[in-house]
């Protein structure tokens, strides 16, 4: 037992590093003088995240197809998980770095901001690595609890408080769904570990009941329609850097664990859940595209955009592990990194009275801030899926997977949704380039603008990296 415990701890080392960074940051923030404490907390949390990513890479440096199992089959690390983890942790670290220095503007001046993001990241890593239903639930909670707090972090802002409360109540309901589903699955298979569930028979209707409950809960966590109701309200109310985090790291993790739960324990029931996933994907794509059309607030618009994008990722999951595994990793990885750039741009835009949140704020951006307008245009084109940019290739893989799986109707719906969604990105871009400025834009903040530029460059010259990303995702998906 001693030896296996030691081995187990080496497997969870990345999680421990992230957790340790966040905790040291908390202690520093508490005991250091006030001005130093906040910076130190961010620094420690970022170091923890970077160390965590490095350790994940280290595990897979020799053999990318290696698989690690720890704690008697409760925890697992494969390259699929590692890919999702590295993307998610990178997003979290970027969010922390870009927010530093002007967090007070968003009501995030407390030093606990960075450690909470670190703790949420540790939670999403645990969730990604879960190999039984209890660890899955604990990971989901460990990610959700800091998220609720982060949403309400600006506690003097009524909208932020409302967002936090709404997120908490609905999130608790979704957690209850996952728990109830898990208990049904346990009751009818007698196993909580993923391998044991996969080995069980699938004739039991109640077992599928449990699966459907778990699907509902996970769909809520990655804000897929029809479980998306909380997304626009939480995105609108929560502070911008927090929304940047919500839209990237947890989303990547939630979609990846969604894929793992369906592929691994419920893999034998593929024919049962494929249809459910197709319906959820179709509703998300269509509703995300249509809902965004009437939005006046940029954060609400991006919330619908994220619902729409999760729909594409779920379409990839619905095609099964062989066809969709690589596509879902590629799609969500590219989307998460791009959307961090978009939010960095939003955080850098500053009007006379606080952050620019209405679409009108973008009018004439090309005249007042040409560089920023170019970068934002590239990022929006990428999310819309305009050819040479990185976002297009992500979409291409998803669409190809859907066609190969023979989901022609779903494929057609996805095409229409892409066109409609492209419409509102184009409206945004048109406002930037063809309208007169109506809002005075303050000088750009250094870190956020840099992040956005880097993201834009990443998306623009991503083709060069695309080979690397593509092969990484392919290996990760085990092909």
Partner 1 sequence: MNLTAAAFYILGGATILSAFFVIAARNPVHAVLWLIAAFFAAAGLFVLIGAEFLAMLLIVVYVGAVSVLFLFVVMMLDVDFARLRQGFLNYLPLGVLIAGLLIAELFLVGAALGENGAASLSEGKIEPSPGAVNNVTAIGRVLYTDYVLHFQLAGGILFIAMIGAIVLTLRERPGVRRQDVGRQVGRRPRDAVKLVDARPGQGLQIPE
The least CB distance from residue 246 to partner 1, in Å, is 16
The nearer residue to partner 1, 266 or 381, going by C-beta atoms, is 266
User: Among 19, 216, 302, 383, which residue interacts with partner 1 (rule: CB under 8 A)?
Assistant: 19
Name residues contacting partner 1, limited to 162-201 (CB under 8 A): 164, 186-191
Residue 81 as a binder of partner 1 (CB under 8 A): the answer is no
| Among the listed residues 40, 80, 83, 153, the single contact to partner 1 using CB under 8 A | 153
Residue from 40, 60, 75, 213 touching partner 1 (CB under 8 A): that is 75
| Cβ 79 vs Cβ 66: under 8 Å | yes
In this complex, which beta carbon is closest to partner 1, that of residue 154 or of residue 339? 154
Phi-psi region of 356 (alpha: psi -120 to 50; beta: other; left: phi over 0): beta
Between CA 323 and CA 352 the distance in angstroms is 50
Structure tokens at 60: 């897979």
Q: Specify the residue, 120 or 473, whose C-beta has the smaller distance to partner 1.
A: 120
Candidates 121-129, 223-231, 414-422, 455-463 — which segment interacts with partner 1 by CB under 8 A?
121-129
3-state secondary structure of 357: coil
Q: Per CB under 8 A, does 1 bind partner 1?
A: yes
Check: CB of residue 301 under 8 Å from CB of residue 292: yes
Q: Which listed residue (27, 50, 145, 454) binds partner 1 by CB under 8 A?
A: 145
Does the footprint of partner 1 cover residue 155 (CB under 8 A)?
A: yes
74 is a site residue for partner 1 (CB under 8 A): yes
CB-CB neighbours of 370 under 10 Å: 12
Query: Cα separation of 426 and 384, whole Å?
Result: 9
Q: For residue 156, with 0-12 CB atoms within 10 Å meaning exposed, 13-18 middle and 19 or more buried, which class applies?
A: exposed
- Least distance (Å) from partner 1 to the CB of residue 77? 13
Q: Which residues ranging from 42 to 71 are in contact with partner 1 (CB under 8 A)?
A: 70-71
Closer residue to partner 1 in complex, CB, 190/370: 190
DSSP code per residue over 247-286:
HHHHHHHHHHHHHHHHHTTTGGGHHHHHHHHHHHHHHHHH
Nearer to partner 1 by Cβ, of 27 and 403: the residue is 27
List, in sequence order, the alpha helices (H) in 130-204.
133-151, 158-189, 194-199
The binder of partner 1 chosen from 21, 48, 146, 321 (CB under 8 A): 146
Among 81, 86, 149, 219, binds partner 1 (CB under 8 A): 149
* H or E segment and range at residue 354: strand 354-355
Site string for partner 1, 457-476 (x = CB under 8 A): --------------------
Residues 408, 313: contact at Cβ < 8 Å?
A: no
Contacting residues for 350 by C-beta, under 8 A, at least 6 apart: 105, 356, 441, 442, 445
Q: Please give the residue ranges that form the binding site for partner 1 (CB under 8 A).
A: 1, 5, 8, 12, 19, 26, 70-72, 74-75, 110, 112, 115-116, 119, 122-123, 126, 134-135, 138-139, 141-142, 145-146, 148-149, 152-153, 155, 164, 186-191
């Amino acid at each position: 037992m001693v030896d296996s415990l030691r081995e187990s701890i080496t497997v969870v080392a990345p999680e421990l590093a992230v957790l340790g960074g966040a905790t040291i940051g908390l202690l520093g923030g508490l005991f250091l003088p006030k001005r130093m404490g906040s910076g130190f907390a961010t620094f420690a949390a970022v170091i923890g995240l970077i160390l965590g990513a490095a350790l994940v890479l280290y595990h897979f440096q020799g053999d990318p197809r290696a698989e690690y199992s720890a704690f008697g089959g409760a925890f697992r690390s494969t390259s699929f998980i590692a890919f999702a983890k590295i993307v998610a942790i990178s997003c979290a670290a970027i969010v922390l770095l870009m927010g530093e220095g002007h967090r007070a503007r968003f009501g995030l001046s407390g030093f606990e901001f960075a450690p909470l993001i670190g703790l949420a990241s540790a939670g999403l890593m645990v969730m990604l690595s879960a190999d039984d239903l209890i660890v899955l639930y604990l990971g989901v909670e460990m990610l959700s609890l800091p998220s609720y707090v982060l949403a309400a972090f600006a506690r003097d802002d009524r909208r932020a408080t409302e967002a936090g409360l709404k997120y908490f109540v609905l999130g608790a309901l979704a957690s209850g769904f996952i728990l109830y589903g898990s208990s049904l699955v346990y009751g009818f298979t007698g196993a909580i570990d993923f391998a044991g569930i996969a080995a069980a028979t699938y004739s039991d209707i109640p077992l599928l009941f449990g699966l459907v409950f778990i699907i509902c809960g996970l769909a809520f966590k990655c804000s897929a329609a029809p479980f998306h109701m909380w997304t626009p309200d939480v995105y609108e109310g929560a502070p911008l850097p927090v929304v940047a985090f919500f839209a990237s790291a947890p989303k990547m993790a939630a979609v990846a664990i969604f894929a793992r739960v369906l592929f691994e324990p419920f893999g034998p029931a593929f024919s049962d859940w494929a249809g459910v996933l197709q319906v959820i994907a179709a509703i998300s794509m269509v509703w995300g595209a249509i809902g965004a059309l009437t939005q006046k607030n940029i954060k609400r618009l991006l919330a619908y955009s994220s619902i729409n994008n999760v729909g594409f990722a779920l379409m990839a999951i619905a095609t099964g592990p062989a066809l969709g595994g690589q596509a879902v990793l590629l799609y969500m990885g590219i989307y998460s990194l791009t959307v961090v750039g978009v939010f960095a741009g939003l955080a850098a835009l500053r009007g006379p009275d606080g952050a620019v949140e209405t679409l009108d704020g973008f009018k004439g951006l090309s005249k007042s801030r040409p560089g920023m307008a170019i970068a934002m245009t590239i990022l929006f084109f990428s999310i819309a899926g305009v050819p040479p940019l990185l976002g297009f290739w992500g979409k291409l893989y998803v669409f190809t997977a859907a066609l190969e799986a023979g989901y022609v109707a779903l494929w057609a719906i996805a095409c229409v949704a892409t066109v409609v969604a492209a419409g509102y990105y184009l409206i945004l871009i048109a406002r930037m380039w063809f309208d007169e400025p109506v809002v005075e834009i303050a000088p750009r903040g250094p870190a956020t603008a840099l992040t956005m530029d880097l993201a834009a460059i990443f998306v623009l010259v991503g083709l060069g990296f695309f080979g690397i990303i593509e092969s990484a995702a392919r290996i990760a998906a085990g092909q």
